[in-house]
Amino acid sequence: MYTFKKQIIGVKSFLTYNSKLYFEKDNDIYIDEKKSDLPELPRITKNGYLVINKGKNKFVIMQSNSVCTEYKNEKSIAYYINSFCLLSKSEAIGGIISYDSNLMKVIYENQGIYDITTGNLKSLFKIDNIFSFVLNTPEFAIFQKDATYLAGYSIKTNQPLWQFDLSQLGTFIDNYSKEVKSYKVEKFITIYDNQLYIALNLPSHTIISINVQTGKLINKWENIPYTIGANYDEFEQIIFGFEYKNYWQINLKTSEFNIIDIENTFKQKNLKSVNSQVNIPINQTHYLIKLETPVDEENSRIDVGLGLYNKITKQLDWHYVFDKNVFIGANDPKMTNDKIYQLDADGNLYIFEKEENNPQT
């Protein structure tokens, strides 16, 4: 299905966007392995736009393969890309990020609606400066204060609509330490059908959903393995994840939770389990996951690999095991229409290409 094609050494970081590869090597930025004049690696906004710094305060925002907006300014919106979300070709939710060393807290100032082309603030959210913007729908913006408190705002009026304190969920017993703990936000998964889905702290094994219009708690799922590894599949409209020898999913249409033991799938390929993975690449037919082999008793080590897990058959349609000297660490793989990329801990970028006789993957 895929064949290992090449290895690029000395890669500091990389990203993919619409089948293009961007990576940093020796302080230079490369696009599809060709050196560019970009001063820094592009960034992907919270809602999936690519922001390219062209240098000299010139910026380009891409949507798919088309230029959505070009602008030039020296104001804050240009530099705090990770804190804003594009609303239209000319407007974005943004703010200024700073660190207060006395309070030992990150401060978010002037959060509101900005004109991208000028950098000017058009309207201000009436919100405390320790809240940070999380994500939005066309009508609602969600903000977070630390890991226990959320607030919903109207984009049209910039006024607060609701607040949600996770303390209302009570406490839970950590199965490992046996301590009583409070619920905290671990990861915002997605907004689907006006519900915000949130993975809570790992020991709680809990996912909740709240209504983005009212802040009301809608659903609570418990006994979820490895909540930080929860991902949203827009093709199937499910939240899913892998943990050790299990695959689990929540059907967002029915709210049904299922967990499947996939140990036999691994045994057939002489594999042991799924390696811990936060972000799982998705296409219409497969999930790209990191794998582990059985322990090598002689060397007391586990080798790692990649695999394509079929959504329908719940089987591995392809896998690859790296050489014993390769250490992947926490780096997650990425997938485009015809390539798979994996960066190891030593800065080696491995590139796999799809075989032409396997278009279904």
Distance of CA 108 to the CA centre of its chain: 22
Q: Does residue 72 have a pLDDT over 80? A: no
Separation between Cα atoms, residue 357 and residue 283, nearest integer Å: 18
The CB density around residue 343, as the number of other CB atoms within 10 Å, is 21
**Most confident range, picked from 71-85, 158-172, 272-286:** 158-172
Band (pLDDT 50/70/90 cuts) for residue 80 is very low
Separation between Cα atoms, residue 32 and residue 19, nearest integer Å: 9
Q: Does residue 235 have a pLDDT over 60? A: yes
Note the pLDDT of residue 361: 62
Note the pLDDT of residue 73: 60
Q: How many residues can be counted in the chain?
A: 361
Q: Where are the domains of the chain?
A: 1-15+262-361
Note the pLDDT of residue 53: 83
Across 348-353, average pLDDT: 98
On whether the CB atoms of residues 291 and 307 are closer than 8 A, the answer is yes
Band (pLDDT 50/70/90 cuts) for residue 90 is confident
Share of the chain above pLDDT 70, in %: 93
pLDDT digits (tens, 9 = 90+) for 276-308: 789 999 999 999 999 988 766 555 556 689 999
Give me the numbers of helices (H) and strands (E) for the chain, helices first please.
1, 34
**What is the model's pTM?**
0.90
Render 140-166 in DSSP notation, one character per residue.
EEEEEETTTEEEEEETTT--EEEEEEG
Closest CA to 312 of 238, 252, 223, 208: 238
